Amino acid sequence: MANMRVMADRKASVYTERGPAEGEDWAAVAVALNERMSSRRVGQQQLAELSGVSVSTLRLLQHGAGRRVQNKTLAAIARALEWPDDHLIHVLLSGTRTADSEASEPTGREILAVLAALRIA
């Protein structure tokens, strides 16, 4: 463990030099990210453009290998996917996948889509 440097300030970053810190569930982040991208029909390139995160970093996260990804990167991805900024950090630290995320408040786009559908009917 002497070779492993864990960042103590979780607000600054969540990563280690040699691998995930104890209690981090990168597989849960991968599941949440992949499910959200699929449900929103967002590809890697589009998410990269929306979030300002490289495609290679997104690819690593989608495969559960995000051991050197900082909180600000996770926040940018969450924001681009219309989640609260800290959603992926919460998933990482709690292992909670997406059960709660889909039950969250509807987005503006979702509300407008429902209103448009009601006007048509």
- Provide the number of structural domains found in the chain: 1
In a domain, 1, yes or no: no
In a domain, 102, yes or no: yes
- Backbone angle region of 82, left / alpha / beta, with phi > 0 → left and psi within -120 to 50 → alpha: left
- Give pLDDT tens digits for 45-95: 999 999 999 999 999 999 998 778 899 999 999 999 999 999 999 999 987
In a domain, 32, yes or no: yes
What is the extent of the structural domain holding 79? 26-120
- Give pLDDT tens digits for 3-51: 344 333 444 444 444 455 677 899 999 999 999 999 999 999 999 999 9
Q: At what angle do helices 55-62 and 26-40 cross, to 10 degrees?
A: 110
Give the DSSP per-residue string, 58-121: HHHHHTT--TT--HHHHHHHHHHTTS-TTHHHHHHHH---STTGGGSPPPHHHHHHHHHHHHH-
